[in-house]
Amino acid sequence: MPQAPATLRDMAASDVGPITAMDALLFGVDCWPRQLFEDELAAPLTRRYIVAEVPGGDGRPQTVGYAGLMCVPPIGDIQTIGVLPEFEGRGIARAMLAELIGEARRRGARDVMLEVSATNPRAQELYRRFGFEHIHTRRRYYRDGSDGLVMRLSVAAWTGAAAADAAETTDTKDPS
Ligand SMILES: CC(C)(COP(=O)(O)OP(=O)(O)OC[C@H]1O[C@@H](n2cnc3c(N)ncnc32)[C@H](O)[C@@H]1OP(=O)(O)O)[C@@H](O)C(=O)NCCC(=O)NCCS
């Protein structure tokens, strides 16, 4: 498959349907209801949601990933992140995470937090490479019964190095 660069843009109301379907595919019993995405998009003062697109077969952009941040300084929280399986391993999650950590920094966050399942080594590795550290375990946090690992990144210590090569091929673009 050709490795077309991904483009990031802010999530729009029209993305909510496709993103809810993608979330169900990626997270199964732990997926979010559509209303939750709508509520998140309705709170831009404390939230930023983005999508990643690549050129589709018909030349039109195809949405292949999404991610969301809640930020109430001094804490930012990565609420969710996902990439379609066929587009994994291209640095798309890395680019989205870098964008949201940068957003948290712009909004005055000192730390960025997230939860990841203890049964998700792929995502844990992604976060570790950014410098996130495991600080706490929430027993049976997820509906599938798995533990949640709480991870924290000090924004001041973040250099963006983990995302450097992804950032070269990814632009951020607001659709408005
Ligand atoms: C986790 C997820 C978001 C990663 O998306 P992605 O676009 O494939 O990630 P990237 O290509 O940016 O990879 C980033 C890093 O993840 C790690 N990673 C990627 N593939 C990996 C694999 N097969 N095994 C272990 N680590 C891997 C690596 O550290 C990689 O960095 P590298 O490319 O420099 O080696 C994606 O697999 C996904 O959506 N999974 C289902 C939903 C989910 O688990 N979301 C996270 C919830 S906390």
Q: Look at ligand 1, atom 31, and give the residue with the nearest C-alpha.
A: 126
* 175 inside domain: no
* 112 inside domain: yes
| pLDDT at position 171 over 50 | no
From 31, 97, 125, 126, the mutation candidate for ligand 1 (largest count of ligand atoms within 8 A of CB) is 126
The confidence band for 4, taking pLDDT boundaries of 50, 70 and 90, is low
| pLDDT at position 166 over 90 | no
| pLDDT at position 156 over 60 | yes
Supply the mean pLDDT for the chain. Answer: 91
Containing domain of residue 97, as a range? 7-168
* 137 inside domain: yes
pLDDT digits (tens, 9 = 90+) for 124-153: 999 999 999 999 999 999 998 999 999 999
* 140 inside domain: yes
How much distance in Å is there from the Cα of 49 to the middle of ligand 1? 19
| pLDDT at position 2 over 90 | no
Across residues 105-130, what is the average pLDDT?
A: 97
| pLDDT at position 57 over 80 | yes
Mapped to the 3 state alphabet, what secondary structure does the chain carry? CCCCCCEEEECCHHHHHHHHHHHHHHHHHHCCCHHHHHHHHCCCCCEEEEEEEEECCCCCEEEEEEEEEEEECCEEEEEEEEECHHHCCCCHHHHHHHHHHHHHHHCCCCEEEEEEECCCHHHHHHHHHHCCEEEEEECCCCCCCCCEEEEEEEHHHCCCHHHHHHHHCCEEECCC
pLDDT score of 118: 97
Total domain count, the chain: 1
CB 165 less than 6 A from any atom of ligand 1:
no
| pLDDT at position 157 over 90 | no
Residue 39, domain CATH: 3.40.630.30
Per cent of the chain over pLDDT 90 is 82
CB 94 less than 6 A from any atom of ligand 1:
yes
* 176 inside domain: no
The confidence band for 45, taking pLDDT boundaries of 50, 70 and 90, is very high
